[in-house]
Structure 1
């Protein structure tokens, strides 16, 4: 059997849903060849195929590769994906993820996170919620795939940017498991466990999860990061396919790290929150109702995702797949948000010279640096049910897929933003009395309070045609017709008066077309074009209400062109993709502010390369070079500017070296060097964020057949790189640092 026949056999096995095929897709075997890498994301029916045969840009990371990257959060893992700029400096939740120059002010409007092929939540982003917040990486994850552009406008939720798909481990005939304890130099205490095996003939289980607690990489003086997660995955193998059903319950949150004042005495270990200010009161509504909150709760997810997948071979070249899930929970945000630049206390104190600490009672002199800090409260309850089913039929050289996608989703929000009060500029700096603004919370300037409710429905019919006129040439076409409904009301001011009401019902069409030509069994080229849409969700209507009420449908069109080359061998692979896209979007600097509409164009190239030497040395390279330009804008000062917060180039080099020890055990040394170009803090290109280079290192030691040790050091040189400035006031001297140096140790036992 030749290489291609072997790959096709694996693909057929995956389509039938065998557990063995899933293990192949994870690429976790140490002797797996680069040309044997299998992917399942991006095909209309989730059918497995060789990565080198794919006519789109996709990255796959095995569980072992994820461990070596030692991500601090789910979004931190996305840094390993070419074409993606992920800002994970906000903590365990609340990341900003940018894709291929698509414009964004923050969060992740062009990111979809899937589990087992189904989106966790239909809207890619709501204010204070991006989808990576809903997923925590642990030892139950088998592998992750990341698809950029490609078929995204047609499959899944139709979001045209980046789709990441996390696949869970499954049980097998053998009972096996892992227990792992982790600690760190910032007093992390974490236990992970997973076990899988056989229940009955053809019936298998996997259960696992974690419990974790720490003061945070930036020490807040209390357990600022804590949580737990539990996952069950039940698999049933059938004569003609497979079913699996899972549930994942998560309660995990951490302090929200925000931009800090860029002045002497403040570095990347600084955080506004601490024991003297984590408990505070806010005033809201027309009557100035006062309520206390614990801002140490930060950002996170307290909820569950339950679902499943059914894959069947119906005979006569018919295949059926259904992927579904139900998501429900709370994604709240509590944060101390800087407002403006630091000033001397004497300029704001009532007596012109000093003020007193509200907690300590200490007197602070007039030269003390103080800064307005907003106490922001966002209570967000979400719920969704998603079902994606597809039938496929092969007619000799033609394969036809017809699918129906349905998602019902809702979000109920209660916000109180603003609530500014002057605090001492110091880690966990306390609030002060003797300042009129502080002693009268409603006199400190901007506030924005809302109570909103939103329900939505997305229904799409999609079709895909794949035609092979010859063995080495594949043509494909995908079409998606989508109906998008939103019902949304907002009470701005918390006075019981609805200020904005939306009843939205629009249809749109997206499509993609690709050509894939294989030069040899393990090399080829592809060209793809797609026309997709960024659909409006609840916050889009609130921020763009004026445009909507004047007849705008708020559907932003995204056009993409891709030209790719792929090459894979026994010990090497090279995937290079050139891309060009044009995207419509809007920009809101602060909730409640009017939106600015604009259009951007981006051209660039992504490189994902891997080489393994005979001596046990492996080197992985991923790089992105892109040029962005704002070509149209409601703000004429933006024309010709670059898109904010995305580097012109970034590169990551990840070497690893295996050393065989006496007794046959291994020691693996690995690391990552990542560099990024300068970026602009804002679309006005007024403030530059300097580029930086970050170094991470690690080691993995097989102490025995069952016991292993892993040490990882993040940001070895303790680099003070900035991921963003002040998104609400670009000229204010505030910025968010990358996370400081940290050391983590894990001891594992496998059986």
Structure 2
């Protein structure tokens, strides 16, 4: 395979050049003055139009022949998400676990089997994939995008046409649309503070540059220790976004934007809890909602390889991104559309990863030294004082994963309209790289308590089990350089047969290529060669291997939408999509291409009193492949699955000011011919891991006017049903409820005060068991990751 390294800057200039010529010609013309539309009408129309999953230009949600959700900025504010991934809880068919903090989410879609991260989820910014691989180990798309007040709306399409557009994602495609300027100068500033001492500021300003050109610039900055306080500043960073749009006298427009993100937070992982069947309770004094294993004593350490690691670096991203969106009508009925983006930066992960559940020091001596081993001494690594008799202990690895990434994406299409027919043909190109350095393992011995302290253990026979708390060196190393390229051609035809009936169909051909050089762990060895020291067992980096992969596949879809009236319609669709192996799969020799067949149909109702969207779907999966780090080494899971489900979403407005929004999902997803444990465990018939059969949420809200004030009250009750954390269905995650609520008051037209509360009942709900082992953890004290505890956010916003 030829060298696929592309110069993103040259490609961007080459892609933009012909449009710049057209833009120059258009700007020379005299354009009529733009007029501001009434704000209420503009907001209503904007919320009704969706861009994601369409061939360009957007469509009314009521007319879409696929399952799509659109969330306005007001809906986002009321959801009060703790992270970007947390917002996806509002979308039916999607199970999002944000208990890992701002980063490190697990997102699952419609029974698509996955071991974690967000294997079948792509995030777009302005219609362009932010980073084309939906998931790499220790990197999923939501880690790269933050929600702030510069976001106008978020759209999400499930299945349907997603396999044709963008990067061809057959699962979930989430599009984040930026706020833009208008012909009136506007501004906004908000200061918020939480009961766990996080302070955050958001602001934006927008307006005209000329009659044809507008701008917007804004962002946020925040810092705090986080809900799970590790005794140091774990959450810190911000984002700035800017854009300029120029209109070409009604024939099209050019949007140029830039964004810089520098934000990181603590990577939250399983903590000790007690489990007795379906009953979950708190372990000792380890608060299930606010307790953190990390603390001052373990924040900065130097591992056996001599590398100093600071847990305050956490997990996050430091990225730059710029792009453009160009639309222009060349002649009547023929338009050109260009979307391009270039992103570069780092996305690192530093975390304290629990290795085993709490145990006695005597049990740990046996674990480290073998049968018959006893405790000689147990002391604190800092200060050397003896630990109390009966101290519960556990191990956790200090994992260090460094990634340098970049991506160039270009999507260009021609659109031809004639009568009731719209034909679109497009070309998609993506070139992306990552430079990986991993050091997993590096276990330290800790007290089994919040803000744990490092311990040193000497066995009864004189063998030294620890050095400065470390019980081992690295268990898995990676040093890799990967480069991928995707080329795709797509064509879609939409035909309005009658006023009521519209059909569409399309195909996509995609070529996926990856080259790389990667070295992973070689043989284990004893660093000093002495049997008296147990802490220096580690692995060394093995020889480099070469990756050279290429494959092509076709995707296609066909759908129909029938409107009984302008307010009631139905749709039906079939689609075939593919998911190509990415860097981590290829590193482990997994070259399987996942194939997904989706059948879906739905009912849509849009009236002043009621909006209802109901979708029935059936998915068949073949050639699935995932890799998880279990006991310090990669383990493969391959095979197939099937899923049938119903998604409901809607809002009822019985009288002025009051509404009840609701969403729910029933999912019957099971494995078929799916083997985990490197092919040793057949999970056929088991439920797909981490996804419940039942999941729903209800959000009532009431707005009223009291004198000069406009208060608004809202609440959300969410139910998450029983799940299994593992494909073997051995780790039960019991069902739980979560209650959130808030109140806001418009003091006047400019000042708004608000308070929101999350998990008001301080529910102990588990989202993950121990993904680093195979099978049951047994009864008693286990490792699991609960949802975040009760918290409150207070804010004051001023606009003009």
TM range (shorter): over 0.9
**Is the partner of 2:163 in helix, strand or coil?**
coil
1:380 counterpart residue number: 403
Per the TM alignment, residue 33 of structure 1 is displaced from its structure 2 partner at its CA by 6.4
Match of 1:130 among 140, 151, 170: 140
Once residues 131 and 341 of structure 2 are traced to their aligned partners in structure 1, the CA distance between those partners, rounded to angstroms, is 9
Q: Pick closer, same or farther for the CA change 1:28–1:189 going to 2, 3 Å.
A: farther
Aligned mates of 1:503, 1:516 — CA distance in 2: 43
How has the CA–CA distance of structure 1 residues 555 and 64 changed in structure 2, closer, same or farther, with 3 Å as cutoff?
A: same
1:534 aligns with 2:573: no
CA contact (8 A) 1:532 1:557 kept: yes
Q: Of 665, 674, 678, which aligns to 2:722? A: 678
Preserved contact between residue 35 and residue 52 of structure 1 (Cα < 8 Å)? no
Match of 2:793 in 1: 744
Q: Deviations over 1:629-657 (max 9, x none)?
A: 11112355411100111000100101110
Number of residue-to-residue matches in the alignment: 719
Q: Which moved more, 1:626-635 or 1:93-102?
A: 626-635
Pick the aligned partner of 2:483 from 452, 455, 463: 455
Q: Is the 8 A contact 1:489 1:498 kept in 2?
A: no
Listed as ranges, the matches of 1:414-563 within 5 Å are 414-435=437-458, 436-439=464-467, 444=472, 447-493=475-521, 497-543=542-588, 545=589, 548=590, 553-563=591-601
| Counterpart contact for 1:573–1:610, Cα < 8 Å | yes
Q: Which residue of 2 is the match for residue 586 of structure 1? A: 625
Shift of 1:427: 1.2
Q: Are 2:182 and 1:172 equivalent residues in the alignment?
A: yes
Q: Secondary structure at the match of 2:601?
A: strand
Answer whether contact 2:33 2:211 (CA < 8 A) is retained: no
For each residue in 1:185-216, what CA deviation from the matched residue of structure 2 results, as whole angstroms up to 9, or x when unmatched? 00111111100011122111100011110110
Q: 1:221 is matched with which residue?
A: 231
Structure 2: how far apart are the matches of 1:468 and 1:420? Answer: 63
Deviation at 1:347, TM superposition (A): 2.9
Partner of 1:572: 610
Q: What secondary structure is seen at the aligned counterpart in 2 of 1:347?
A: helix
> Partners of 2:33 and 2:561 in 1: how far apart?
28
Counterpart CA distance in 2 for 1:20 and 1:196 is 18
User: Is 1:242 aligned to residue 270 of structure 2?
Assistant: no
Report if aligned partners of 1:36, 1:50 keep a CA contact under 8 Å in 2.
Answer: no
Call closer, same or farther: CA 1:595–1:23 in 2, change over 3 Å.
farther
In 2, the alpha carbon distance for the partners of 1:374 and 1:281 equals: 12
Distance 2:219 2:468 in 1: 46
CA distance in 2, matches of 1:227, 1:250: 8
Alpha carbons of structure 1 residues 326 and 36: separation in structure 2 relative to 1, 3 Å: closer
Aligned equivalent of 2:271, options 260, 267, 272: 260
Instruction: Tell me the distance in 2 between the aligned counterparts of 1:212 and 1:339.
Output: 31
Residue of structure 2 equivalent to 1:184: 194
Contact 1:252–1:302, Cα closer than 8 Å, also in 2: yes
Deviations 1:599-636 (A, max 9, x none): 01000000011111224111101000010111112355
Deviation at 1:589, TM superposition (A): 3.2
Q: Which residue of 2 aligns with 1:273?
A: 294
Within the alignment, does 1:692 sit opposite 2:736 as a pair? Answer: yes
Q: Report how far residue 244 of structure 1 moved.
A: 0.6
Secondary structure of the structure 2 residue equivalent to 1:379? strand
2:746 alignment partner, one of 681, 698, 702 = 702
| TM-score, scaled to structure 1 | 0.92
SS at match of 2:229: coil
Partner of 1:654: 699
**Alignment check: 8 A CA contact 2:252 2:327 kept:** yes
Q: Secondary structure at the match of 1:212?
A: strand
| 1:734 matches 2:779 | no
Checking the alignment, whether the CA contact within 8 Å between 2:34 and 2:183 is kept in structure 1 is no
Cα–Cα, structure 1 residues 194 and 31, in superposed 2: closer, same or farther, change >3 Å? Answer: closer
Q: CA deviation at 1:39?
A: 1.2
- Counterpart CA distance in 2 for 1:705 and 1:568 is 30
The counterpart of 1:724, out of the listed 768, 772, 792, is 768
- Is the Cα contact below 8 Å between 1:282 and 1:441 reproduced in 2? no
Cα drift, residue 53 of structure 1: 0.5
1:469 Cα deviation from its structure 2 partner? 1.9
Report whether the alignment pairs 1:49 with 2:59: yes
Deviation at 1:31, TM superposition (A): 9.7
User: Structure 2 CA distance, aligned partners of 1:52 and 1:396?
Assistant: 21
Q: Is the contact between residue 35 and residue 573 of structure 1 (CA under 8 Å) also seen in structure 2? A: no
Distance 1:236 1:19 in 2: 13
Question: Is the CA contact (8 Å cut-off) linking 1:671 and 1:697 kept in structure 2?
Answer: yes
| Contact 2:585-2:627 within 8 A present in 1 as well | no
Match of 2:668 among 620, 627, 631: 627
Scaled by the length of structure 2, the TM-score of the pair is 0.87
Decide whether aligned partners of structure 1 residues 248 and 369 sit closer, same or farther in structure 2, where only a CA change above 3 A counts.
Answer: same
Task: Sort the Cα spacing of 1:425 and 1:363 in 2 relative to 1 into closer, same or farther, 3 A.
Answer: same
Larger radius of gyration: 2
Instruction: Measure the CA separation in 1 of the matches of 2:438 and 2:635.
Output: 18
Q: Is the 8 A contact 2:738 2:760 kept in 1?
A: yes
**In structure 2, C-alpha distance between the alignment counterparts of 1:554 and 1:19, rounded to whole Å:** 55
Conserved in 1, the CA contact under 8 Å of 2:189 and 2:204? yes
Shift of 1:22: 14
The farther-off stretch of 247-256 and 636-645 is 636-645
Report the Cα distance in structure 1 between the residues aligned to 2:36 and 2:642, rounded to whole angstroms. 40
With over 3 angstroms needed to count, the CA separation of the structure-2 counterparts of 1:48 and 1:368, relative to structure 1, is same
**Residue 248 of structure 1 aligns to a residue in which SS?**
strand
Sort the Cα spacing of 1:237 and 1:340 in 2 relative to 1 into closer, same or farther, 3 A.
same
Please name the residue that 2:332 is paired with: 316
- After the TM superposition, which residues 54-73 of structure 1 pair with which residues of structure 2 at under 5 Å, given as runs? 54-73=64-83
Separation of aligned partners in 2, 1:229 and 1:579: 38
C-alpha contact 1:214 1:224 (8 A) present in aligned 2? yes
Residues 33 and 569 of structure 1 are in contact (CA less than 8 Å); yes or no, is this contact kept in structure 2?
no
1:199 aligns with 2:244: no
Match of 1:341 in 2: 357
Contact 1:35 1:568 in 2 (8 A): no
